[in-house]
Amino acid sequence: MKEIPFDNFINNISEAETPFAVKIDNMLLQGNCLREIKEGASGYSVTYKSSSTKKTVAAFVCRKTGLKIRITPPKPFSCDDLCADLPDNMKKDMKRGNDCKRLSDASVCNQRCLMGYTFTIDDKLYQKCRSMAFLFSVTEENMPYITKFIQKGLGIETSV
């Protein structure tokens, strides 16, 4: 299978999103992630996997509604401090995610499924599925918060 160049993805997103996508790409690659690009119906998806576990830790996805990023930290982490400062649209996205069946009753979920995340938003506890808990629209307002989520959730500290 021929590898798709990163430039194909970059050329498919808006000019406003490009610097952010390049920044996040550099951050994740410097954080020992491997990049995989696939073409989909609405554009490209760029998946970043841990080089040690081969599990997905983040992915850009092109949707009809615009560019999104899914962050799936490999281990539970406390994000309550991040949640307090999030814009309302990001809080809404987190609340909208599916509830994690495994956190409430491990017997009703696939045993290979990695557990979801527990966090508090506006003094309410949420337990969300890892595939939808941190799926954010890439907007100018959200970009700094997405960067913080990636750095904290993946333990990546970088000057990028």
Assigned domain for 147 exists: yes
Domain that holds residue 136: 6-154
List pLDDT tens digits, range 19-47.
999 999 999 999 899 999 999 888 899 99
For residue 65, give every residue at least 6 positions away whose Cβ sits within 8 Å of its Cβ, in sequence order, or none: 137
Assigned domain for 150 exists: yes
* Whole-angstrom distance, CA of residue 79 vs CA of residue 64: 29
For residue 61, give every residue at least 6 positions away whose Cβ sits within 8 Å of its Cβ, in sequence order, or none: 40, 45, 67, 68, 69, 70
Single-letter code of the amino acid located at 128: K
Assigned domain for 159 exists: no
* Whole-angstrom distance, CA of residue 22 vs CA of residue 11: 12
* Whole-angstrom distance, CA of residue 54 vs CA of residue 87: 32
- Orientation angle between helical segments 18-30 and 143-154, nearest 10 degrees: 10
Predicted TM-score of the model (pTM): 0.88
| pLDDT the model gives residue 160 | 44
Number of structural domains, the chain?
1
Assigned domain for 160 exists: no
Assigned domain for 1 exists: no
Assigned domain for 66 exists: yes
Q: Are 57 and 74 in contact (CB under 8 A)?
A: yes
Assigned domain for 121 exists: yes
| pLDDT the model gives residue 147 | 95
* Whole-angstrom distance, CA of residue 37 vs CA of residue 84: 33
| pLDDT the model gives residue 45 | 95
Task: Give the H or E element holding residue 103.
Answer: helix 101-104
* Over residues 104-122, mean pLDDT: 80
List pLDDT tens digits, range 70-110.
999 887 777 888 888 899 999 999 999 888 888 877 777 77
